[in-house]
Amino acid sequence: MRSVKLLFIISSFALYLNLSVGKEAKNLPKGHGAELGKHRESDGHVDVLTTIPSPQDFWDKYASIQKPVVFQGAAKNFPAQSLWTDSYLKKNYGDLEVKLEAKKEKDHVPVGDRGVGRDTIKSFLNSYVQKDSYMVTQLPDPLAKEVRILPCLMCGTFSERILEANLWLSSGGTKSMLHKDADNAINCLLNGTKNWILIHPENEENIPVAEGDKGYGGFAVLDVDQVNLLKYPNFTKVHWQYANMTAGDCLYLPYSYWHQVRSYGSKNMAVSVLFSRLTKFNSTGCKTAKLEYTPLSDINMVWTYPGHGPQTMGNLDPFEVKDSYLAALNEKNDGRITVDDLFEQYSEAKLYEDHPVIRKEIAQKVLNILDPDNKGFVTKDDVEALTVEKLKAVANVVDPDAANTEEYEHVIFGADEVRNAFEEGLEEGDGVLTLQKLIVKYQSLGGSEKVARELFAMLKPKNEEYATTEEVKKNLSDVLELYKKIRDDDKSGVFYEQHYREDKEIMTETLKENENIESKEPREEL
């Protein structure tokens, strides 16, 4: 497979060289080197509704066929839209912790008051206008009372399968990659504007998808600012629609629907509510249900976040976890799942691909949850009896995300990098490591002052301002242990970076050569 892809890349590279020599260079594909969406005319704006459909109509006309739709003005029914000024949020929720990303997806991870990729609401709001920082976080529970669930989700299967809520806040200028998400979402814009490019999953065969991603999500290796149509000529076949949202609008985004988003405005803020990838809808109770805008805090949502500690953003859908085990059991002649079966399943999913020992440990932990009677296997009755809490426990074991934890920095930096920071600080201090020197060295890695101070305290220095060589040597091993955690490598991210660099080289050459040839051609006199 890899050799085939390599051959394709080489062939594409040869193609662009041929095109860049001679006058044919000006005949580049439409949209080559331009931003996403210039490769062909759009198929138009998605449907816009001014009233919320009934749950059954929403299922029949949109959710069941993965069709996006804008609910114009729906979020104007949220108290959050008028209440959530910066001053209000700082005063009432300022100490709550949130996650951060860069404004450009897959870029650096910003440093906040609580560490790399983590901040408080107050600290973020005090600096987000000046910083390249984007709040992309699980919604803290205390804010849920000021968000509303749309009436079309308030009965039947919809109301039983609401998974999580997320908050997005920036000073505008954010842009995502072209990607798809695992779950259905209702994204409601409270401030600013958002422009969406939306691509039906049936186009996926013509989208260059990053290899190595796990689960139902994924992203394309395209540079959304300069699409390389020489390297990816099939992308010219991809049909797309668009959705333009203003403050107060909500968009239904179907699961696995490819999309790219750009946000604008001095303050851009949105809330998204995720619900399961449903293949059928049971309308039981809908005839008598109160179909109205309902506080999110009144909903029995699967994954919640109190505002401090680890988040569960992006965790697996526990209902799908259950369905996957039932499907596996249906294929077993003996009607049993053992630890070896789980290990095989995780191996096929490439979970901790390079670490079979960890994979085996995960399989055993999961079996212990599924098999509380210690039979050594799991039956269909065992799986049918699983509570949502048990299924959530399984999801936490199988698919933890280090970025959701307060120990994120211990994962993204290696022990050798940290050791070098300490040793360089000692050397530059002539055998003394000052707190301020360590902060500077650790921040140069991309780390936070908060964690640098915590590491310095682990040296147990007698003096608050500096540690001696002996104190560093005696306690550095304890510090480095924090950075030796084995992580499940982001192979799709590595794949993306490699192709992004190749694209830039190809783009520079083709566009430059084309420009030179056009400038040499005689122009007609006016």
- Residues 371, 322 share a domain: yes
Lowest mean pLDDT among 62-71, 161-170, 213-222: 213-222
Contacts of 190 (CB under 8 A, 6+ apart): 75, 78, 80, 81, 84, 247, 248, 269, 270, 271
- Residues 157, 137 share a domain: yes
Q: Tell me which residue has tokens 């699961």.
A: 255
- Residues 177, 252 share a domain: yes
Best CA proximity match to 244, nearest among 204, 189, 174 = 189
Contacts of 399 (CB under 8 A, 6+ apart): 215, 315, 316
Given a contact cutoff of 8 angstroms between Cβ atoms, the answer to whether 227 and 114 are in contact is no
- Residues 462, 386 share a domain: no
For 266-307, the DSSP string reads EEEEEEEEEE---S----TTTTTS--S-EEGGGS--SS---S
Q: What is the largest CA-CA distance in the chain?
A: 89
Q: Give the per-residue pLDDT at 103.
A: 77
- Residues 164, 106 share a domain: yes
383-415, pLDDT tens digit by residue? 999 999 999 999 999 988 888 988 889 988 999
Give kind and range of the element (H or E) at residue 266: strand 258-275
- Residues 164, 53 share a domain: yes
Residue 522 covered by a domain: no
196-244, pLDDT tens digit by residue? 999 999 999 999 998 766 557 788 999 999 999 999 999 999 999 999 9
Q: Tell me which residue has tokens 């009755």.
A: 381
Is 523 a residue whose pLDDT tops 60? no
Q: Give the per-residue pLDDT at 212.
A: 64
Residue 6 covered by a domain: no
- Residues 243, 378 share a domain: no
332-370, pLDDT tens digit by residue? 999 999 999 999 999 988 888 889 999 999 999 999 999
pLDDT, greater one: 306 or 517: 306
CATH of the domain at 441: 1.10.238.10
Domains in the chain, number: 3
* Cα 453-455-459 angle, rounded to 5 deg: 110
Is 4 a residue whose pLDDT tops 50? no
> Which residue among 374, 400, 426 closes a domain?
400
Is 5 a residue whose pLDDT tops 50? no
Amino acid sitting at position 212: G
Residue 233 covered by a domain: yes
Is 17 a residue whose pLDDT tops 80? no
Residue 19 covered by a domain: no
Q: What is the mean pLDDT of residues 252-264?
A: 97
Q: Residue 282: what are its φ and ψ, rounded to 5°? A: -100, 115
CATH of the domain at 187: 2.60.120.650
178: its two tokens: 């072209």
Q: Give the per-residue pLDDT at 512.
A: 66
Residue 165 covered by a domain: yes
Is 106 a residue whose pLDDT tops 70? no
Using DSSP's 3-state secondary structure scheme, residue 253 falls into strand
- Residues 338, 210 share a domain: no
> Which residue among 400, 421, 446 closes a domain?
400
Q: Give the per-residue pLDDT at 27.
A: 79
Bridge partner residues of 116 (DSSP): 111
- Residues 436, 379 share a domain: no
Q: Give the per-residue pLDDT at 190.
A: 98
Best CA proximity match to 473, nearest among 431, 444, 428, 417 = 431
464-488, pLDDT tens digit by residue? 999 999 999 999 999 999 998 877 6
Q: Give the per-residue pLDDT at 22.
A: 37
Is 34 a residue whose pLDDT tops 50? yes
Q: Give the per-residue pLDDT at 67.
A: 98
Given a contact cutoff of 8 angstroms between Cβ atoms, the answer to whether 225 and 107 are in contact is no
* Cα 167-169-172 angle, rounded to 5 deg: 145
Is 108 a residue whose pLDDT tops 90? no
Question: What is the pLDDT confidence band of residue 28, given thresholds at 50, 70 and 90?
Answer: confident
- Residues 230, 182 share a domain: yes
* Cα 68-71-74 angle, rounded to 5 deg: 145
Q: Give the per-residue pLDDT at 473.
A: 95
Residue 419 covered by a domain: yes
Q: Give the per-residue pLDDT at 296.
A: 98
Angstrom distance (rounded) from CA 145 to CA 296: 6
Taken in order 426, 431, 436, 437, the sign of the CA dihedral is negative
Q: How many CB atoms lie within 10 A of CB 205?
A: 10
Q: Residue 337: what are its φ and ψ, rounded to 5°? A: -115, 125
Is 9 a residue whose pLDDT tops 90? no
Question: What is the pLDDT confidence band of residue 102, given thresholds at 50, 70 and 90?
Answer: confident
Angstrom distance (rounded) from CA 150 to CA 76: 11
Q: What is the mean pLDDT of residues 444-470?
A: 95
- Which residues in 487-504 are b (16+ Cβ under 10 Å) and which e? ebeebbeebbeebbebbe
- Residues 466, 387 share a domain: no
Best CA proximity match to 221, nearest among 26, 498, 516, 524 = 498
266-297, pLDDT tens digit by residue? 999 999 999 999 999 999 999 999 999 999 99
81: its two tokens: 């839209």
Best CA proximity match to 274, nearest among 249, 292, 301 = 301
Q: Measuring CA to CA, how many Å separate 251 from each of 160, 244, 273, 428, 498?
A: 20, 10, 11, 55, 33
CATH of the domain at 332: 1.10.238
- Residues 212, 192 share a domain: yes
29: its two tokens: 């594909």
Q: Give the per-residue pLDDT at 132.
A: 86
Q: What is the mean pLDDT of residues 430-456?
A: 95
The model scores a pTM over 0.75: yes
Residue 193 covered by a domain: yes
Q: Give the per-residue pLDDT at 142.
A: 98
Q: What is the mean pLDDT of residues 129-151?
A: 95
> Which residue among 465, 482, 499 closes a domain?
482
Q: Give the per-residue pLDDT at 7.
A: 37
Full domain range(s) for residue 448? 412-482
Residue 488 covered by a domain: no
Q: Measuring CA to CA, how many Å separate 174 from each of 115, 240, 245, 260?
A: 22, 21, 15, 11
